[in-house]
Amino acid sequence: MILGIDVGGTNIDVVVYDEDFEHVATYPTEKNVSNLNSVIEELVERFEVEAVGVGLAAWIKRGKIVKMPNIRGEFRIDLEIPHVIDNDANCFAFYSAKLFEVENLLGVTIGTGIGSGIVADGRLIHGEGLAGEIGHWFVGNDRKCTCGGVGHLEANFGGWSLKEQFGRDAKEMIEDGSIYLTEGFRMMCVAVANAVTLLDPEAVVFGGRIGGNLDVEKLKECIYRYLMPEFRPEILTLRDPLAVAKGACLLAEESVCSKR
């Protein structure tokens, strides 16, 4: 039995994995992040798990959390049980690669903010820890980002940015199609196209509250517009709000098995 936890900017989602995934809890992040370690310990005891995987909306460099642009509050994760902590977009990408059975994949999560994870030859690419922070690429203006930078992709597209710019929830903008007319959508497609040219993945998978609900044909049309014809990765969406937690489970399982 493996416990998988997705600590996002809005919610903390929890699943357990024992051949199949089961959603067991969702907590509001703001009210629970300060006692996250206690929450995890309680879940470990309740489900008698063997290992824990945590997907965190944070920048993790050389094993240390260095920044959490969209999570407020301080916490620690100090567990006696075997555990793995990774960026939430990495967890999403890892799960997507397993689900769609591809070896080379770019996963893009768009929710409160924007993240991405890279799977190459079946393995996650971390670099020094911050590989894949597409949401904080400079896209050419002076909009202020929650991380403290300016002109970042996330400052132009994503949940908090769209709300700030248009005073509307992204869900409404997807439903009426206005999201595809924003400059932020175009910027996002350009950024993804540039990443595709760099990585040459088999597939690009979009997930998250916003990304997973975008229209695939509109994504293809916009992304392909900025790509040379030799680059034509499959463009997919994954409408699974638990994908990060599931990916965290699989990473924890892989870690435990590799040490046996």
Q: What is the pLDDT of residues 116-162, one digit of tens each?
A: 999 999 999 999 999 999 999 999 999 999 999 999 999 999 999 99
pLDDT at res. 257: 64
Q: Which residues contact 110 (CB under 8 A, 6 or more apart)?
A: 157, 158, 159, 188, 206, 207, 208, 209, 210, 211, 214
Mean pLDDT of 86-114: 96
Q: What is the pLDDT of residues 181-203, one digit of tens each?
A: 999 999 999 999 999 999 999 99
Share above pLDDT 90 across residues of the chain, in percent, rounded to a whole number = 82
Q: How far apart are CA 69 and CA 148, in angstroms?
A: 8
Q: How far apart are CA 76 and CA 67, in angstroms?
A: 13
75 pLDDT band, cuts 50/70/90, is confident
Same fold, 2-88+242-258 and 91-237: yes
Which DSSP state fits 28? E
Q: Which of 3.40.1650.10, 3.40.50.10860, 3.30.420.40, 3.40.50.300 is the CATH number of 2-88+242-258? A: 3.30.420.40
Average pLDDT, the chain: 94
pLDDT at res. 260: 59
Share above pLDDT 70 across residues of the chain, in percent, rounded to a whole number = 98
Q: Which of 3.40.50.1220, 3.55.30.10, 3.90.930.12, 3.30.420.40 is the CATH number of 91-237? A: 3.30.420.40
Q: What is the pLDDT of residues 195-233, one digit of tens each?
A: 999 999 999 999 999 999 999 999 999 999 999 999 999
Where are the chain's structural domains?
Answer: 2-88+242-258, 91-237
